[in-house]
Amino acid sequence: MTIVCLGDSLTTCGGAGGRYSDYLQTWLPNCKIINKGILGDTLDGGRSRFHRDALRFEPNVVIIGLGANDYWQASQPIDQLAADLESMVSSAKNAGVEVIVAGCFGEHEDSETPPENEIDEKRNLYASAIAAFEFDIVKRYHCYYVPDMQIDITPNGTPPYWADINHPNKTGNELVAKRIYAELQKALSP
């Protein structure tokens, strides 16, 4: 079984042996786990490299963990972001590949403090919109879903789980991996 982890810095962070994909490899020694995380990647970037960095490996499962940088940039139209994710999911499903969408956002509120400025308000809208279209796409394409894959280690930057304010360390990634692993077991079941 081959599993491709396609994502951004949240797929590559954690250091040697500390990425969430490293934990998956340890827990699934008979599977081949391929980490294709790229620092700063976006949904559009994932879409443009999806064949080269995911489908060409003929995976059984692809884990798509993108959207965090789209949130930070808050510059692309939401409809375009949704189309980028849907393109990847559709391509995978058409190739007979199971899909897990590992999202950064969910139904919970990260903070009860109201936004301090227009940029924060815009990002809040992006977070809600990304979570909404992830849920819609997952439902329509019968995918597996990990909403807010970092919920067990929030808020960001809290010791002992974070390397910096945005990236989990090895300890944090173990909890992220556990959340993804639960869905991965379902995707790998006959």
Q: Is 167 helix (H, G, I), strand (E, B) or coil?
A: coil
Per residue in 139-151, is it b (16+ CB within 10 Å) or e — as a string? eeeebbbbbbbbb
Smallest Cα–Cα separation from 24: which of 32, 15, 12, 14?
32
Asked if pLDDT for residue 119 goes beyond 90, the answer is no
Mean pLDDT of the chain, nearest integer = 94
Read off the amino acid at residue 68.
A
CATH number belonging to domain 2-107+134-188:
3.40.50.1110
Interval 10-44: pLDDT, tens: 999 999 999 999 999 999 999 999 999 999 999 99
How sure is the predictor about 106, in pLDDT bands with cuts at 50, 70 and 90?
A: confident
What are the residue ranges spanned by the domains of the chain? Answer: 2-107+134-188
Whether residue 15 contacts residue 75, with contact meaning beta carbons closer than 8 Å, is answered with: no
User: Given a cut of 70, is residue 108 above it in pLDDT?
Assistant: no
In this structure, are residues 60 and 1 in contact, taking their beta carbons and an 8 Å threshold? yes
User: Length of the chain, please?
Assistant: 190
Q: Would you state the structure tokens that stand for residue 7, as one six-digit string? A: 């994502």
Q: What is the pLDDT of residue 121?
A: 85
- Helix or strand or coil: residue 155? coil
pLDDT at 85 exceeding the cut of 80: yes
Task: Supply the pTM of this predicted model.
Answer: 0.94
CA distance 138 to 20: 21
Phi, psi of 30 (to 5 degrees): -90, 0
Confidence band (pLDDT; 50, 70, 90) for 115? low
Give the rounded percent of residues in the chain with a pLDDT score beyond 70.
94
Which range among 2-11, 68-77, 107-116, 179-188 shows the weakest confidence by mean pLDDT?
Answer: 107-116
